[in-house]
Structure 1
Amino acid sequence: MTPIERAARALWELDTSSANPGVSFNPLHEQSDETKQRYAERVRAVLTAIREPSVKMASLGREEWACATDTGEYETDAEVMMLSWKAMIDAALAEGV
């Protein structure tokens, strides 16, 4: 499952559970292609809006990269990039509204 699919699924679950508490809905993958596409478009809009990182996000991503590369613990840049990405997303989530 791609990150966009995971995010679309999370939005679907949030929408269906908050709109009708206690009511069970079929999962997103069982919905129409139109519904799946609509949720994927919402995810793309969010990702586009946050494409430019905040100063805090960039700073934490850089710090994570430096720490991970200094230790020599990781074999590939991809592993280090994943750590930096997670640190940047955590920073965005912590910044709030």
Structure 2
Amino acid sequence: MKKIALILGSLFISLGAFAQEDKIVKRSDLKGPAYKNYKPWKHKTIPTVVYTVERAEKVTGPAYKNYKPWRDDSKKELAVVEIGKSERQKLKGPAYKNYKPWKKKAK
């Protein structure tokens, strides 16, 4: 009786763990020819939001040596870093290859 309860309990736990698995295809999950022939444009990706400190105070000398980060209660100004949002993303073919960011086009 204990064995049956143990088997059923482990079955429910394992099914619950697999039920919460993501349905998003990650390239790192693939192996062999599927990895080699991966088409990124056929799969949706979740963008990662990256934040950076906009104005960090530079501490030098003895103040740096005695700085305690856990006692720092100053307000941090965070800025979102956007990667890949440019006009070049919209281009295809030779226009993408020959894109020159230093030449501003008047629209």
TM-score bracket, normalised by the shorter chain, equals under 0.3
Give the strand-richer structure, 1 or 2.
2
TM-score normalized by the length of structure 1: 0.28
Higher RCO (CA-CA < 8 Å; seq separation 6+): 1
